[in-house]
Amino acid sequence: MRCKWPNQIIWCLLLVLSGCVAQKQVVDPYSSRQQRDDISMRQGLEGINGKSVTLDMQEPTVLPVKDMLMPTLTLINDRIYAYEQKMEALRDLQEKAVSSASSQDTLNAMSDCRVQLQNVLVEYNALNQRLLQKTDLQAAQLLAADSLLQISEKDINYLESSCQNLMAVPLVPQQQSLVHTRTLHAEEQLLKAAAAVDDYAKVISHYEQLPLEAGQAPSFDTTFLYGQALLKTHREPEARKVFADLLTVIRKQDQAQWEFRLMQLIGDLEFGLEIFDSAKGRYKELAAIYEGLSTKNEWALQQLSALDRNVYQTDEVRSYAQLLKVYLGYNPDRDGYGVVEQAQKYIAKYPYSPVASNADLVLERAKKEADAWLKSVLARIDRLVEEKKFQEALLLIERVPRDILPVEKQEMLRRRSEQLLTAESISIETTRLVQEQELQEEWNQGMLLLEGREYDQAIEVFTSLSASSYADKARERIDEAAKLAAREGRQRAAEIFMRANRTADPESRIKLLFASKTLLQDILIKYPQSGLSDKVNRNLARIEEEINRIDPTLLTTPVTVGEGTAP
């Protein structure tokens, strides 16, 4: 018996070791990778040829250790032979890759696969030699049990890796394929990114526009995501065809790790579409292939029990088909707790249905996804509240359709909305009080500057309060500070003018007159609201009259007044 597929490897292990692995509960019918250690042994021990073998406990076994271990050694030799063949095929492929100038990425991937192959092959050879050297049966059985399960895990990992696909893809010279590969890869990455955020419309759009050459097909993962997007957008017949085509492809490529998942998914989809005869055939095929794996088969067997009644037209079967259909296309963002409610109604109406356990599982899974969705919505609301974005949080609550929520969840959101309104009011009032305190402190600072005759700084502070509740009072203080500053500036200009008149030196007198003139001009520019403009203009006219008496050209010729000329 050759063990080629991952599930067959484990099955062979269990047959030859006659051990027992504990059973687990029913697993999710669409888990991405079936647990490999939840397989139970049949009551009778099957031989390598598939025939039933019974042990006569009355006759002591006197066979040599090597004979007792022969089934195990046969399995190991089978795997060694298989990996030697893979190694030879990979060696030939690497030689062709080098001669055809394949891309460096392809060469690196082949090198990585070669390392994986060598590791598995070395471990199988080492275990084979160790078992041949054992003379104690119990010690040999323990060694085989521990080591084989560990090596088989690596064996399966290799079979499920991209190496299998790599060896099946024809080599294309780098110069011919580089640009196209990058374009296709980029589009597939965009599709996967859209799938990660449940943007199913974009997934479908990207897939249907992939830049494929003649005879080229998208990757398995990309096509599977496309099928899921069709399913989630209620295009079930199209999704069924996509998954059926994928099943055909993986069977040709000997990828058994995907076979169970796709067979069950297609069977459930056909059940949901009420294509009962075809679904029945799928479940029967599953039951035949995975007869010894009870945990895998429990879902399929229950589905089959409903279909075996030959009462497809009954309300019970049709109601379950509808439940199965909406569950397969379930999208929490769109459907909320709709599937949960439908499953609860079905279980309440048909508590003794042959698929009651499966309906319970649908209910459990749908409720888990719906709870996770609602939890994520509440988490987003909490983040907005922390950022004081109460209106955005309230809008997020309003956007959740109430008809996809049970009554208690609707009530919870209503209370949450009321809490947000209260929190927003408190936040607004708190902010107002804080701002009021800040404005008061700013006002006090302006008054201190005004009292300290720092008029320009005081005006600046009071001007910053012009758009606040202090606007009217600030405007009065600005006028007051401008009037005091203008009065003080005019007085100082008068003092300088008087000094100029007492100075006998013409050059010093000119400098003092221009210093006085500059002070008066600054008053007109900086303090227009002082009410002293007329007086200042008269003072300026008087100064210009004195300057004209000294030299009329000074008022039309740029003059630089030296620093420190005005006291």
pLDDT in tens, 501-551: 888 888 888 888 899 889 888 888 888 888 888 888 888 888 888 888 888
pLDDT of residue 149: 75
Model-level pTM?
0.51
Mean per-residue pLDDT for 137-155? 74
For residue 236, pLDDT beyond 80 = yes
Give residue-wise pLDDT tens across range 112-143.
Answer: 888 888 888 888 887 777 777 766 766 677 66
| Mean pLDDT, residues 552-567 | 55
Residues 6+ apart with CB under 8 A from 300: 264, 267, 283, 286, 287, 290
Strands 52-53 and 45-46: antiparallel
Query: How far is residue 343's CA from residue 353's CA, in Å, rounded to a whole number?
Result: 12
Question: Does residue 325 contact residue 306 with C-beta atoms inside 8 Å?
Answer: no
For residues 235-252, give the mean pLDDT: 89
d(CA 393, CA 323): 33
- 159 versus 481: which is more confidently predicted? 481
Model confidence at 82, in pLDDT bands (50, 70, 90)? Answer: confident
Q: Which residues contact 321 (CB under 8 A, 6 or more apart)?
A: 271, 272, 273, 274, 276
Q: What are phi and psi of 364, to 5 degrees?
A: -60, -45
What pLDDT does residue 37 have?
A: 35
Of residues 24 and 289, the one with the higher pLDDT is 289
Least confident of 75-84, 177-186, 454-463: 177-186
Q: Which of 5-14, 27-36, 479-488 has the highest mean pLDDT?
A: 479-488
What pLDDT is recorded for position 69? 67
- What is the reported pLDDT for 99? 63
For the chain, how big is the Rg over CA atoms in Å?
44
- Name the DSSP class of 50: S
Q: How confident is the model at residue 279 (pLDDT cuts 50, 70, 90)?
A: confident
The answer to whether 242 and 262 are in contact (CB under 8 A) is no
Q: pLDDT by residue (tens digit) across 463-506?
A: 888 888 888 888 888 888 888 988 888 889 888 988 888 888 88
CA distance 455 to 149: 89
Q: Does residue 345 have a pLDDT over 50?
A: yes
pLDDT at 302: 79
| pLDDT on residue 455 | 86
Q: What is the pLDDT of residue 448?
A: 93
Q: Which residue has the higher pLDDT, 259 or 294?
A: 259
Q: What is the mean pLDDT of residues 416-439?
A: 88
Mean pLDDT of 340-349: 92
For the chain, how far is it from start to end, CA to CA, in angstroms? 114
- pLDDT for 297 equals 67
